[in-house]
Structure 1
Amino acid sequence: MNLTNTLHRCLQQTPDKIVTIFRGRRRRYDEFCNRVARLAGALQASGMKTDERVGVLALNSDRYLETCMAVWWGGGVLNPVNIRWSVAEVVYSLDDCDTGILFIDDQFLHMAAGIAKTARRPPVFIYTGEREAPDGMLSYETLIAGHAPVEDARRGYEDLAMIMYTGGTTGFPKGVIQSHRNIWAGCIQRIAETPPIKGGKTLHAAPLFHMAALSRAINQFIAGETHVIIPAFNAREVLDTIEREGITELGLVPTMIQALIDHPDFGTRDLSSVKRLVYGASPIIASVLERTMDLFPGVEFYQSYGLTEAMVVTTNPPESHAEAGRRSGRSLSVGRGLYGTELKIVDEKNDEVPRGIVGEIVICGPSVTRGYWNKPKESADALRNGWLHTGDGAYMDKDGYIFIVDRMKDMIVTGGENVYSAEVENAIGRHPAVMMCAVIGIPSDAWGEAVHAIVVTKGDAQVTEEEIRQHCHQLIAGYKCPKSVEFRPEMPLSGAGKILKRDLRAPYWEGQAKKVN
């Protein structure tokens, strides 16, 4: 159970196979492994000791994957930095886990001076861009060329592999501790449920600092298949890349799926190579899922549910997305627990609730983190009696399928009734003028909390607040319908493409002593 043994297998069995494709640059497994071993030696020479934390602040690239493997090959610990953070947030994560080396690319060079000035321990910067390294930074390619390959440290099992900071959509980031065993087990569990496509090419468009994307990359290394990488999600570049490279598998979050199918070029492209579409990381509006399945006939659809603290823990397979699954509503489930993972739905007393009753998802399994870095109280709150408390509200049907209704913190209590935002968002999302929506609770003297909707419309589509309310009244109970509707040109999104409800709520709850009313 160490993350670099995948490379040894590929080097032995398929050394000539292409491992990474990045904007025309192709590397074979033998070349990739040699570069990883050389970069590991360069990191050791630059101060990386066993368990030393190494950060990466960069867009997706072949070098990002080389860096991850080189850190583990050399015995270090990876700290993938959120690319949407400010300098202060980046410095917080570096300081919190004492990161001494930071890989940085052209996109984030403007932040380097601020990081160096304010970090408790100014990091050694390694420039991963395509130009000459700026003054005071080490050059990625020069380091590889100037160092001999070193032996794999073969760290594994309970050795620390990664500290990945939560996206902070509901609070301040916490450093999630992941061992080699945690990550390896989570990947193998996922492979057991979703076997890799033989000869497949996976497109990495979602950000690799995020657990969902990075674990998919590790799965592809385990399978010995090919990674195709673009720097960041861009609908046109995704379409171009699918056509040019013959992509077989896509992994996207719902906001990306919507942007892809809404792109004006979508209907003109040859997307016949796509065999599988995996989606997750946030809830998907039913109307978007149905439309996507219609536009990708014959493609396997998988939904995955996971979190930084436990990687992927459920999967909803293609049969749930077939006609019978769509009629039954099971296509909107996040699926059942993976092999080796236990899930329960519990109440506030930690007692398991009956099927069909909403409670909190708790998880037990080999991929579950052992806690948060330097945060014993938060670790104790999340991990109780061997179970990870996710904070996600859901119910389980009679066959063990999980249906997520909301973050427990996001549940709206209006007039004494519980309202789950996902149900309201699905109703609003069925209006033909709506491209994207989010539902939050805001303070109300009359109701305690009122259901408030934020809507982004499609192009020049016109719709009024009253029309949205009337549309919802046809689909859900009156008390669930939004009392108010706000129209915006765009949503605040995290680096992983999730809607930041924390930012949407902030203006309404400013000055309140508590975030419930």
Structure 2
Amino acid sequence: MSLTLSLQRSLQQTPARTATIFGTRRRSFREHGDRVARLAAALRSQGLQANDRVGILAHNSDRFLECIMGVWWAGGVLNPVNIRWSVPEIVYSLDDCDTRILIVDKAFAALAPRIGATARHAPLFVYADDGAAPPGMLSFEDLMEQHEPVEDAGRSGNDLACIMYTGGTTGHPKGVMQSHMNLWSAATMRLSETPILRGSTSLHVVPLFHIAGLGRVVMQSIAGECQAVLPGFDAGAVLEIIERERITDTVMVPTMIQAVLNHPDFDQRDLSSWRRLGYGASPSASVMVEQAVQKLPNVELSHAYGLTEACPVISSSGPAHHSEDARKSGLSRSAGHPAFGVLVRIVDAGGREVPRGVVGEITARGPNIMLGYWNKPEETAKALRDGWLFTGDGGYLDADGNLFIVDRIKDMIVSGGENIYSAEVENAIAQHPAVAMCAVIGIPHEKWGEAVHAVVVCKPGAELDEEAVRTHCRERIAGYKCPKTVAFRDALPLSSAGKILKRDLREPFWAHRGSA
């Protein structure tokens, strides 16, 4: 279970096949492998030892793919840095796991002086972009030319492969330790259920510093197929590259998918090569699914549920869960069955398993579950108990073993003693034809403790008022679940992975009450 074994196999079996596509640049597996091995040599020449950490602060690119494999080839540990973080947050992650080499692209090179000045140990900066490196940095391309390829370090199994920092929604971010076995297992579990299309070209749209992006890289690498990369999400660019490069499959979050489906160029593009679309990061995507089925009738839809600590797969639902019957019955709203090799239990606050149909905390165990949190034994002990990962997500299993996600435990709204799951309310609101996006949170209420508050973004040209939203909801869900207040915005705050940042929506209401 070595993550570099996949590249070795492709170099042996299909060296001339296209490995990466970025803009107009195409590289074969032979070229890709040569650059990976040269980068590994360069990293070792700069003092990298086995298990040392290397950070990457950059937009998606083919060089990012080379960095991922090159760090592993050299025997190092990857630290992908969240590009949305402030300098203090970046420095925290570097200091926390003692990252001494940081690879940056043009977009983030200007941050290097502040990072170097405030980090406990100023990292060695490597400039991975076109053109000359800024003063004080080594050139990625020069390093390639100056070093001959080296042999793979051959790390595998429980050897540490990656430290991926969580978003830090409360306190400092936690460094999730992922081994070669963790990442390999998660990828092969998915491949065993949904084999990669032979001759495929997979498009990376979600950030590669995110586990959804990194996990997809590992899957496509194991399969030995082509990977096309966009530097970031742009709906028009997604449509253009699907047509130009004959993209067969991609993974996006629902907000991205909606932007693609609603783009003015959608009907003008030849999307006939597109065969599969995976999505995740949202338990309330039923409206998006209906739209995708109508506009992409030849594309298979699949949904996966997971988290960074599971590298990321816990469960998945494939095309059968998106059929007309499944959509009518509500089965399409499930996260499907646990992945091969993963066990799932739903437990109460005391850690006891609850009956089918009863909501509790989702727990999981399997070879894909993280080693723990870097230098945080207490946090690790809370999350990993007797071999089970406690996810912090609320959900239930139905009689057939399908997993339904209802909410983050912390996002559950308790109003007048009743538990209200925001995803259920969001699903109801999203069915209104004038609604483009929505989010539901709990806000302080003197009598009920919390009240349901909805934040709505209308479709262009559409109009909606607060009472219309409440009336619409009362026809679909119980009255106590309906929003007591509704706010309208032009946009919702999104993370770099396209997730709605509910903490940003809650903060103004709870800032002076000690809760968020």
TM-score after normalising by structure 1:
0.98
**8 Å Cα contact 2:54/2:102 also seen in 1:** yes
Q: Match for residue 22 of structure 1?
A: 22
Q: Match for residue 421 of structure 1?
A: 422
Q: Match for residue 104 of structure 1?
A: 104
Q: Which moved more, 1:62-71 or 1:102-111?
A: 102-111
- What is the SS of the residue equivalent to 1:67? helix
State the distance in 2 between where 1:371 and 1:437 align. 34
- What is the SS of the residue equivalent to 1:498? coil
Q: Match for residue 480 of structure 2?
A: 479
Q: Match for residue 125 of structure 1?
A: 125
Moved over 4 A (4+): none
**8 Å Cα contact 2:284/2:424 also seen in 1:** no
- What is the SS of the residue equivalent to 1:163? strand
**8 Å Cα contact 1:435/1:458 also seen in 2:** yes
State the distance in 1 between where 2:187 and 2:285 align. 27
- What is the SS of the residue equivalent to 1:65? helix
In structure 1, stretches of 5+ residues that fail to align are none
Which letter maps to 2:319? P
Q: Quickly say closer, same or farther: Cα 1:290–1:172, change in 2 above 3 A.
A: farther
Q: Match for residue 506 of structure 1?
A: 507
State the distance in 2 between where 1:112 and 1:36 align. 24
**8 Å Cα contact 2:362/2:391 also seen in 1:** yes
Answering whether residue 456 of structure 2 is matched by residue 455 of structure 1, we say yes
Q: Match for residue 8 of structure 2?
A: 8
State the distance in 2 between where 1:487 and 1:119 align. 41
**8 Å Cα contact 1:254/1:283 also seen in 2:** no
Which letter maps to 1:318? P
Q: CA deviation at 1:514?
A: 4.0
Q: CA deviation at 1:296?
A: 0.7
Q: Match for residue 409 of structure 1?
A: 410
Q: Match for residue 41 of structure 1?
A: 41
Q: Match for residue 215 of structure 1?
A: 215
Q: CA deviation at 1:131?
A: 1.5
Q: Match for residue 443 of structure 1?
A: 444
Q: CA deviation at 1:300?
A: 1.0
- Residue correspondence of structure 1 range 45-60 to structure 2 within 5 A: 45-60=45-60
Which letter maps to 2:191? I
State the distance in 2 between where 1:47 and 1:280 align. 39
Q: CA deviation at 1:460?
A: 2.5
- Residue correspondence of structure 1 range 136-285 to structure 2 within 5 A: 136-169=136-169, 172-285=172-285
**8 Å Cα contact 2:18/2:27 also seen in 1:** yes
**8 Å Cα contact 1:414/1:449 also seen in 2:** yes
Q: CA deviation at 1:110?
A: 2.2
Which letter maps to 1:394? G
State the distance in 2 between where 1:500 and 1:170 align. 13
State the distance in 2 between where 1:473 and 1:27 align. 56
**8 Å Cα contact 2:348/2:361 also seen in 1:** yes
Q: CA deviation at 1:478?
A: 0.4
Q: CA deviation at 1:19?
A: 0.2
Which letter maps to 2:46? S
**8 Å Cα contact 1:169/1:500 also seen in 2:** no
In structure 2, stretches of 5+ residues that fail to align are none
- What is the SS of the residue equivalent to 2:107? helix
State the distance in 2 between where 1:237 and 1:501 align. 28
Q: CA deviation at 1:22?
A: 0.4
Which letter maps to 1:313? I
**8 Å Cα contact 2:442/2:506 also seen in 1:** yes
State the distance in 2 between where 1:403 and 1:429 align. 18
**8 Å Cα contact 2:276/2:301 also seen in 1:** yes
Answering whether residue 336 of structure 2 is matched by residue 340 of structure 1, we say no
State the distance in 1 between where 2:281 and 2:394 align. 15
- What is the SS of the residue equivalent to 1:395? strand
State the distance in 2 between where 1:326 and 1:286 align. 8
Q: Match for residue 378 of structure 1?
A: 379
Which letter maps to 2:422? S
Q: CA deviation at 1:171?
A: 5.4
Which letter maps to 2:376? K
Q: CA deviation at 1:324?
A: 1.3
State the distance in 2 between where 1:321 and 1:200 align. 22
State the distance in 2 between where 1:63 and 1:477 align. 52
**8 Å Cα contact 1:169/1:494 also seen in 2:** no
**8 Å Cα contact 2:284/2:426 also seen in 1:** no
Which letter maps to 1:385? D
Q: Match for residue 366 of structure 1?
A: 367
State the distance in 2 between where 1:209 and 1:402 align. 27
State the distance in 2 between where 1:185 and 1:319 align. 24
Q: CA deviation at 1:92?
A: 0.7
- What is the SS of the residue equivalent to 2:163? strand
When the two chains are superposed, the root-mean-square deviation of aligned CA atoms in Å is 1.0
Q: Which moved more, 1:293-302 or 1:19-28?
A: 293-302
- What is the SS of the residue equivalent to 2:372? coil
Which letter maps to 1:197? L
State the distance in 1 between where 2:173 and 2:434 align. 35
Which letter maps to 1:486? A
Q: Quickly say closer, same or farther: Cα 1:169–1:336, change in 2 above 3 A.
A: farther
State the distance in 2 between where 1:14 and 1:429 align. 46
Q: CA deviation at 1:167?
A: 2.2
Once the two structures are superposed, residues 273-302 of structure 1 have per-residue CA deviations (whole angstroms, 9 ceiling, x without a partner) of: 101000012334311111111111021111
Q: CA deviation at 1:169?
A: 4.3
State the distance in 2 between where 1:172 and 1:431 align. 38
Once the two structures are superposed, residues 128-158 of structure 1 have per-residue CA deviations (whole angstroms, 9 ceiling, x without a partner) of: 1112100000101000010011111000101
- What is the SS of the residue equivalent to 1:216? helix
Q: CA deviation at 1:512?
A: 1.2
Length, aligned pairs only: 515
TM-score after normalising by structure 2:
0.99
